[in-house]
């Protein structure tokens, strides 16, 4: 089986720049704001699909790690969908019965 890996990082330079400028403009540059900018720079969603199943890990939080074996998954297929309308956003979501 082919292995699929994806890493979604949230530390794009432009995002950090926007956070930094907004904090500086509103005089909110304190320890909490600095921590927020650092955390956004470290955020990363790792997804892996292999022969064992599907696993997801949200770094740097060690408590957010999900593994789904193929025995637990009733259906799996590729389709186009509306991220905002169907799931309320990007990433791992679970609104109502729909999960992505």
Over residues 36-68, the pLDDT tens digits come to: 666 677 788 899 999 999 999 988 888 889 999
Q: Total structural domains in the chain? A: 1
Q: How many CA atoms lie within 13 A of 79 on its CB side?
A: 8
- Whether 99 is in a domain gets the answer no
- Between CA 69 and CA 85 the distance in angstroms is 28
Over residues 17-41, the pLDDT tens digits come to: 777 777 666 655 566 666 666 667 7
- Whether 55 is in a domain gets the answer yes
- Whether 85 is in a domain gets the answer no
> Angle formed by the axes of helices 13-25 and 31-42, to 10°?
170
- Global pTM reads 0.60
Residue 46's domain comprises 4-73
- Whether 21 is in a domain gets the answer yes
- Whether 90 is in a domain gets the answer no
- Whether 79 is in a domain gets the answer no
- Whether 96 is in a domain gets the answer no
Cβ neighbours of 4 (radius 10 Å): 10
């Amino acid at each position: 089986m082919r292995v699929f890996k994806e890493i979604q990082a949230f530390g794009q330079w432009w995002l950090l720049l926007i956070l930094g400028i907004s904090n500086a403009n509103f005089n909110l540059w304190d320890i909490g704001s600095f921590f927020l900018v650092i955390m956004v720079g470290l955020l990363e969603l790792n997804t892996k699909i292999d022969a064992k199943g599907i696993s997801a890990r949200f770094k740097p939080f060690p408590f957010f790690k999900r593994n789904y074996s193929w025995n637990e998954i009733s259906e799996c297929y590729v389709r186009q969908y509306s991220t905002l309308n169907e799931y309320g956003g990007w990433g791992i979501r679970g609104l109502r019965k729909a999960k992505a």
